[in-house]
């Protein structure tokens, strides 16, 4: 299977699944580290590289051309913040819960 197809599957299936609900996450150091480790493991799997091969993360990222997951999460958080900022105060949900 070509790398481009694997990258497309990752971008369309794996990334949204891993980051579901990320707009409400608090990005602490431990969370970002876990996300990056998981992404690197998947990138190695895509390329067929073992951890023992000692290939640098930057080289793997260059080969796969996959967006950094932490950057993706930060972008999603900003998109959500913009959405919330644009909401009007006359929403029916707000009126019902008051």
Q: How far apart are CA 50 and CA 44, in angstroms?
A: 7
Contact 39, 66 (CB under 8 A): yes
Contact 47, 66 (CB under 8 A): no
Q: How far apart are CA 64 and CA 10, in angstroms?
A: 10
Residue with tokens 């913040």: 81
The upper half-sphere exposure of residue 21, i.e. CA atoms within 13 Å in the direction of its Cβ, equals: 2
pTM of the predicted model as reported, rounded to 2 decimal places: 0.81
Length of the chain: 98
In this predicted model, what pLDDT tens digit does every residue of 3-56 receive, in sequence order? 999 999 999 999 999 999 999 899 899 999 999 999 999 999 999 999 999 999
């Amino acid at each position: 299977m070509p790398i481009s197809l694997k990258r497309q599957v990752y971008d369309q299936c794996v990334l949204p699944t891993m980051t579901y609900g990320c707009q409400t996450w608090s990005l602490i150091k431990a969370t970002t580290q876990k996300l990056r480790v998981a992404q690197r493991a998947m990138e190695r799997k895509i390329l067929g590289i073992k951890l023992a091969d000692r290939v640098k993360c930057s080289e793997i990222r260059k080969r796969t051309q996959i967006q950094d997951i932490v950057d993706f999460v930060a972008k999603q958080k900003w998109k959500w913040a913009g959405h919330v900022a644009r909401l009007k105060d006359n929403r029916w949900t707000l009126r019902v819960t008051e």
